[in-house]
C-alpha cells in the first residue's frame, strides 16, 4: 500500500464517520422532543455533513480518479464504507441518540486536536475548521447526557440502557491496522490506541457526573473502519440516503 | 483598460449583505480574506464561517453577481480554510449593527454580556445551537424575550 493509498483510506474513515452520523442525526429533524433539541440536532448534522464535504473532497483529490465528495457519498455500496459501526446503529430513543453523540463527540474532539498538528497541511486545515464546530457538539451532548443521566428515574434508566447498548461499539475507535500504522509513521495522524487514555478520562468524568456506570467489559464490535463487516443497518441507511442519485443519476439542483 | 483598484473592490464588497443576517456585510463578517489582481483576473479569497453553512454557496453567488455588475469579467473565487474563521474578525461596526438588529454580538467570555433588547445582564442559555450555525439561543430573565447570540468561535 502506497502512502497515498493509505491516506485515501484514512480520509474515507474520517469522511464516512461524519457522513453516516450526520445522516443518522438528520433523521431527527422534525421529530425531536422539544424545538431547541430539534434545532440543535439539525445544526449538528449540518456541521457533520459540511465536514464530510471537506474530508471526502480531499479523499477524491488524493485518489486522483476524478471522484468528488458527492460521488464518494452517493455511489459507493455498503462494503466500501469505512465508518465506525457506532455511527451506523439506528438512533433508538432520544437518550440513545445523545449517548451515541457524546461517545463519538469525545473521540472526535480528541482526534481532531491531534490532526490539527498533522504533517499533511490539507488534513491539518480541515481539522482546524472542524474542531471549532465539534467543541460545541461535545459541550451540548455532554450537558444532555448529564442532564438525562442524573435526571428522573425514567431518564436515568434509559441513559444507562443506552450506555450498556453502545459501549461495545467504543473499542473500535482505538483499534489500528496497516492504514493507521502508515499514517502514524508519516506523522499524518495519531496511532488510534494512543487516544484511549485521554478518551477514558474525559468520558469517565462526564459519565460519573451523569451517575451512569460504564459496563465492565472489554468486548468490542469491529469491522466498520476496515469495511470487513458492517452491521445490517448500514445498507438500510444507504437505500434512503442514496436513493435520489441511484434513481436519477446525475440529478442536481 | 485600467483595473478598478483593490480598495475599490473592497468597497464594493462592503456593500454586499450577508444572506442570512442582511444587516451586516460580508466584510463586516470578516470572511473576505484577500482581494488581489493576478494579471487581468480578480482573485477574491473567501473563508467559510461553518463548514456546513448553506449560506456559503449563496455568498459566493452574491459576490460574483455584485462584482459582475461592476464590470469585472475575469473573476476567481478561492476558498481558504486556514486560518479558520473566527468571530474575532467581525468588525466593530458589524458587532454594533448585530446588537441593534437584536442579535447579541460574540463575547470572549463565551456568552452575551447583556440582552440586546432591554440591556439586562440577567440572561440564561437555552441552547448552544440556534436558527443558523453561527448562533446560539439565549433568553432574558428580565424582559423574558428569547434572543439569538452570535457564537464565539
Query: In the CATH scheme, what is the code of domain A3-247?
Result: 1.20.1260.10
Average pLDDT over residues A29-34: 92
Chain B residue at shortest CA distance from A19? B52
Instruction: Enumerate chain A positions whose Cβ falls within 8 A of a Cβ in B.
Output: 36-37, 39-40, 43-44, 46-51, 53-54, 121, 124-126, 128-130, 132-133, 136, 139-140
Least Cα separation, residue B77 to chain A (angstroms): 17
Alpha carbons within 13 angstroms on the beta-carbon side of residue A190 total: 19
Per-residue pLDDT, A253: 76
Q: Give me the pLDDT at residue B5, please.
A: 94
Rounded to a whole number of angstroms, the distance from the CA of A53 to the nearest CA of chain B is 8
Please provide the average confidence, as pLDDT, over all residues in chain A.
97
Whole-angstrom distance, CA of residue B53 vs CA of residue A177: 34
Instruction: Using DSSP, state whether B114 is helix, strand or coil.
Output: coil
What is the phi/psi pair of residue B110, to 5°?
95, 0
Does the distance separating the beta carbons of B54 and A129 come in below 8 Å?
no
Q: Which three cell numbers stand for residue A94?
A: 432520544
Would you state the pLDDT for residue B100?
Answer: 95
pLDDT digits (tens, 9 = 90+) for B24-74: 999 999 999 999 999 999 999 999 999 888 888 899 999 999 999 999 999
pLDDT for position A133: 95
Instruction: Give percent of chain A above pLDDT 90.
Output: 96
pLDDT classification of B153: cutoffs 50, 70, 90: confident
Give the relative orientation of helices A3-26 and A232-241 as an angle to the nearest 10 degrees: 80
- Whole-prediction pTM value? 0.94
Given this model, what pLDDT does residue B55 score?
87
Topology given in CATH for the domain delimited by B6-85? GMP Synthetase; Chain A, domain 3 (3.30.300)
Percentage of the residues of chain A whose pLDDT score is greater than 70: 100
pLDDT category of residue B1 using cuts at 50, 70 and 90: low
pLDDT in tens, A176-229: 999 999 999 999 999 999 999 999 999 999 999 999 999 998 899 999 999 999
Domain definitions of chain A by residue range: 3-247
Beta strand spans in chain B (E) = 32-38, 41-46, 75-79, 103-104, 123-127, 135-140, 146-150
Residue of A nearest to B131 (CA): A39
| Rounded Cα distance, A46 and A236, in Å | 21
User: How buried is residue A33: exposed, middle or buried, by Cβ count under 10 Å (0-12/13-18/19+)?
Assistant: exposed
Q: Domain spans of chain B?
A: 6-85, 90-150
A154's CB contacts (< 8 A; 6+ apart) are none
**Paired sense of beta strands B103-104 and B123-127, if any:** unpaired
Residue B131 or B64, more confident: B64
- Runs of H (alpha helix) within A150-195: 153-166, 178-185
Could you give the strand order of the β-sheet that contains B146-150, starting from the edge strand earlier in sequence?
B103-104, B146-150, B135-140, B123-127
For the residues A92-115, what does the mean pLDDT come to? 98
CB contacts of B133 in chain A (<8 Å) are 43, 46-47, 133
Amino acid at each position: 500500500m502506497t502512502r497515498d493509498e493509505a491516506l485515501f483510506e484514512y480520509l474515507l474513515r474520517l469522511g464516512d464517520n461524519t457522513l453516516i452520523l450526520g445522516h443518522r442525526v438528520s433523521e431527527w429533524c422534525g421529530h425531536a422532543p422539544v424545538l431547541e433539541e430539534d434545532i440543535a440536532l439539525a445544526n449538528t448534522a449540518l456541521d457533520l455533513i459540511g465536514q464530510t464535504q471537506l474530508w471526502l473532497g480531499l479523499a477524491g483529490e488524493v485518489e486522483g480518479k476524478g471522484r468528488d465528495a458527492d460521488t464518494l457519498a452517493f455511489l459507493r455500496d455498503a462494503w466500501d464504507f469505512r465508518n465506525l459501526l457506532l455511527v451506523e446503529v439506528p438512533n433508538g430513543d432520544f437518550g440513545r441518540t445523545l449517548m451515541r453523540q457524546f461517545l463519538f463527540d469525545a473521540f472526535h474532539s480528541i482526534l481532531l486536536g491531534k490532526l490539527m498538528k498533522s504533517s499533511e497541511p490539507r488534513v491539518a486545515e480541515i481539522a482546524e475548521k472542524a474542531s471549532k464546530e465539534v467543541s460545541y457538539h461535545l459541550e451540548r451532548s455532554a450537558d444532555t447526557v448529564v442532564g438525562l443521566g442524573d435526571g428522573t428515574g425514567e431518564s436515568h434508566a434509559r441513559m444507562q440502557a443506552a450506555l450498556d447498548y453502545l459501549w461495545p461499539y467504543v473499542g473500535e475507535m482505538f483499534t489500528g491496522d496497516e492504514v493507521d500504522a502508515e499514517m502514524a509513521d508519516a506523522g499524518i495522524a495519531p496511532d488510534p490506541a494512543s487516544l484511549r487514555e485521554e478518551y477514558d478520562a474525559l468520558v469517565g468524568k462526564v459519565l460519573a457526573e451523569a451517575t451512569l456506570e460504564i459496563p465492565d467489559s472489554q468486548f468490542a464490535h469491529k469491522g466498520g473502519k476496515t469495511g470487513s463487516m458492517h452491521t445490517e443497518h448500514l445498507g438500510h441507511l444507504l437505500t434512503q440516503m442514496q436513493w435520489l442519485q441511484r434513481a436519477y443519476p446525475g440529478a442536481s439542483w | 483598460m485600467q483595473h478598478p483598484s483593490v480598495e475599490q473592490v473592497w468597497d464594493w464588497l462592503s456593500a454586499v449583505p450577508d444572506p442570512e443576517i442582511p444587516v451586516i456585510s460580508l466584510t463586516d463578517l470578516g470572511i473576505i480574506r484577500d482581494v488581489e489582481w493576478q494579471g487581468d483576473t480578480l482573485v477574491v479569497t473567501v473563508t467559510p464561517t461553518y463548514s456546513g453553512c448553506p449560506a456559503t454557496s449563496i455568498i459566493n453567488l452574491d459576490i460574483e453577481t455584485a462584482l459582475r455588475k461592476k464590470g469585472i469579467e475575469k473573476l476567481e473565487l478561492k476558498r481558504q480554510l486556514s486560518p479558520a474563521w473566527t468571530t474575532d474578525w467581525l468588525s466593530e461596526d458589524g458587532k454594533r449593527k448585530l446588537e441593534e438588529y437584536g442579535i447579541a454580538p460574540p463575547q470572549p467570555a463565551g456568552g452575551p454580556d447583556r440582552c440586546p433588547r432591554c440591556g439586562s445582564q440577567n440572561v440564561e442559555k437555552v441552547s448552544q445551537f440556534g436558527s443558523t450555525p453561527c448562533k446560539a439561543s439565549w433568553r432574558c430573565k428580565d424582559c423574558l424575550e428569547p434572543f439569538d447570540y452570535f457564537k464565539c468561535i
